[in-house]
Structure 1
């Protein structure tokens, strides 16, 4: 992988529109880890089993996954800004409704609506950032992953602080913050022209016929199975208060943020894209296996969960770049196809973990999570040639961005999917 030149523009020097969308991304991604500290409290207060409570993740992520298939269809017809606004409005409404709910089924249902808004927002936000950001694709993805990491880090802390008062507090907190993000998006993001070609609902499914994209998506499904087993089920065997759970997952989220922004580029420069992915997935599998073996040791469990943030941060950035480079279709279509497959894995894993723990023991779900990540390494190896091509493409894009040249393919692809023009 090529070294960026000393004169390359900082990925943190971005237009206001990028920061407006990035702020909304922070709040959106807070929703992933926000519920972690309050899962045991919801279980106790609403008399729900752990597997029932983990459906908060399942309904949210499975609906997000399925809705990813229609995001391009919607965005290419009403434009990126209106799609972002629609997603934000849905998140504000359904997160507030989740806070008012008096039953576990009600919260699960409202989280599903939240997932629909999340899908509209996430798929379109990446396309807008890619089109509007300075510094080429690398700068855009670092800006996006910075928002993701910060949101994942702050979400559990806010969830712990508000959850210590009431488990309803985090839901109301997200509604308020997303309302602020909605105002910022309306004010700072300019209306975008609609693309010349409208995306069909079938386009993301058709895109999965390309081997490279399918391999990366299935690898991400396996990885997300391990990721969301840890995120969605580890709070139960920790036996901590909401505030302490919030602090644990804030430490985890901070490592996600730091290694997404700084660790992943450093590793890529030294190991290359393919070896970074193999190496990182192998270490993550070992970490989850440690959780499986020592899940009854509270100290070991806490440390292993926090350390998992390192591997999740690296994987998020490197995999996103690989998908954008390996897919022979417009990047918004590739993002929708990839998101559909990977979020299915993330959505099913927490509920499956709860069921396995209830019918076997607490070690089994994490052992299965480690095995799923290891399986992902094998799937990734099937597409090694595609990874090598992605690495060459990434080097060319980085060289052009370092030389101050526009990435025409990035701009064209982003405009095709989101109507973005800067």
Structure 2
């Protein structure tokens, strides 16, 4: 057992070292897709700083405004089911470009909206494009990048972290001019990404066979994959409670909210790339996930207790970014290992489940604040993350491959 553990640890170290050496020696196509990933993931935190402004100017309640996250995540999750079937028929590059084009159209429409209902529907369309793009982007980067699968996942997570960090900053800067600015900004940047991917990404080989729409759903019969999906569902519940609800309790303008969540995103980006792989090698996937999920739950609980202290809330938001970055990388890598299915199928099944947590939490957090008090959403978010730990413990015997 000791010899096997040492071999596995050495293999992880070699993979991480290989990634480090090849990080700056990637084909231009990888950077084109990574750039598009950055812009796509901006959509996650871009609207964060402008939520209070939209609420005020369009006379909407917090729970109505938080539907911008719910509709986006709900459609993204549902659309994940069809991504494998689409990409296996029209090819990875065509699927990427279709997703990018849809995002360009619906983000521009969001900027031209005149009611909260219109924005919610346009964000739903944005979520469709997001699903087609992000589900395919990981497979493309894994296939084209240097450094092996682990290195490609870290590169993908780096793009995710950079996009999430820059999104609130851009949203805050443009949102301080008008809440419409961030939507038009993403449409412009995504149009640029569309051009870069069109030119630089050469023809990517199609899947060896055509996937069925039902395959991701059937894949969830695998108890290991289902365990990881439920864990991510519960973790995302806490994640999006923090992301969607916190702007309403910080009582800041779009400019300052942008800086707060920029700090959060920077921490997420740093730990996802430079800290998570080392922790995974040293402590293993299970122990790392137990520890970091426990810290996320504790962070949310402290936010609920210290709601009256703005400095404490800001500190907790930024610190949470560090924990979230570690969790994102470790859990994504684990999903790639846990089941015997092809990566696109496993990713689609897992993402379908996890995005549902991100769809429920934003709307529910606004309602809980009204039904009870402003502290309760954070407590419920913390409890959701705690249940993620319980799920991992119960399903541990199904995660032998991780």
| Class of the TM-score when normalised by the shorter of the 2 chains | over 0.9
Alignment correspondent of 1:144: 156
**Separation in 1 of the partners of 2:359 and 2:27?**
34
Among 362, 375, 380, the alignment partner of 1:363 is: 375
> Displacement of 1:388 after TM fit?
3.9
Alignment correspondent of 1:8: 18
Among 120, 126, 145, the alignment partner of 1:108 is: 120
**Separation in 2 of the partners of 1:279 and 1:78?**
42
8 Å Cα contact 2:234-2:384 kept in structure 1: yes
Alignment correspondent of 1:160: 172
Structure 2 residue 248 is matched with structure 1 residue 236: yes
8 Å Cα contact 1:274-1:388 kept in structure 2: no
Structure 2 residue 228 is matched with structure 1 residue 221: no
Could you give the per-residue CA deviations for residues 319-373 of structure 1, whole angstroms, max 9, x where no partner exists? 0000000011011000000100000001110100000101111111110000000
- 1:328-367 matches, within 5 Å, as 328-367=340-379
Alignment correspondent of 2:206: 194
**Closer, same or farther: CA 7–148 of 1 in aligned 2, 3 Å:** closer
Helix, strand or coil at the partner of 2:79: helix
8 Å Cα contact 1:11-1:140 kept in structure 2: no
Alignment correspondent of 2:5: none
Could you give the per-residue CA deviations for residues 24-51 of structure 1, whole angstroms, max 9, x where no partner exists? 0000000000000000000000000000
8 Å Cα contact 2:289-2:330 kept in structure 1: yes
8 Å Cα contact 2:55-2:65 kept in structure 1: yes
> Displacement of 1:257 after TM fit?
0.1
**Closer, same or farther: CA 375–160 of 1 in aligned 2, 3 Å:** same
Alignment correspondent of 1:208: 220
Alignment correspondent of 1:277: 289
Root-mean-square deviation over aligned CA pairs: 1.1
Among 197, 205, 230, the alignment partner of 1:185 is: 197
> Displacement of 1:294 after TM fit?
1.0
Alignment correspondent of 1:95: 107
Structure 2: gaps spanning 5 or more residues: 1-7
Helix, strand or coil at the partner of 1:152: helix
**Separation in 2 of the partners of 1:327 and 1:16?**
31
**Separation in 2 of the partners of 1:62 and 1:78?**
24
**Separation in 2 of the partners of 1:289 and 1:208?**
31
TM-score between both structures, scaled by the size of structure 1: 0.91
Helix, strand or coil at the partner of 1:179: helix
Among 291, 310, 313, the alignment partner of 1:301 is: 313
Could you give the per-residue CA deviations for residues 151-175 of structure 1, whole angstroms, max 9, x where no partner exists? 0000000000000000000000000
**Separation in 2 of the partners of 1:67 and 1:124?**
12
Helix, strand or coil at the partner of 2:374: coil
Alignment correspondent of 2:3: none
Among 279, 286, 289, the alignment partner of 1:267 is: 279
Among 64, 82, 105, the alignment partner of 2:76 is: 64
Helix, strand or coil at the partner of 1:316: helix
8 Å Cα contact 1:145-1:317 kept in structure 2: yes
Structure 1: gaps spanning 5 or more residues: 391-422
Alignment correspondent of 1:379: 391
Alignment correspondent of 2:96: 84
- Considering Cα pairs closer than 8 Å and 6+ residues apart, tell me whether 1 or 2 has the greater RCO: 1
**Separation in 2 of the partners of 1:377 and 1:62?**
24
> Displacement of 1:11 after TM fit?
4.7
Helix, strand or coil at the partner of 1:255: helix
Could you give the per-residue CA deviations for residues 207-229 of structure 1, whole angstroms, max 9, x where no partner exists? 00001000000000000000000
8 Å Cα contact 2:18-2:151 kept in structure 1: no
> Displacement of 1:236 after TM fit?
0.3
The count of residues paired between Structure 1 and Structure 2 equals: 390
> Displacement of 1:14 after TM fit?
1.5
**Separation in 1 of the partners of 2:206 and 2:336?**
22
Alignment correspondent of 2:4: none
Alignment correspondent of 1:256: 268
**Separation in 2 of the partners of 1:154 and 1:44?**
24
Runs of 4+ deviating beyond 4 Å: none
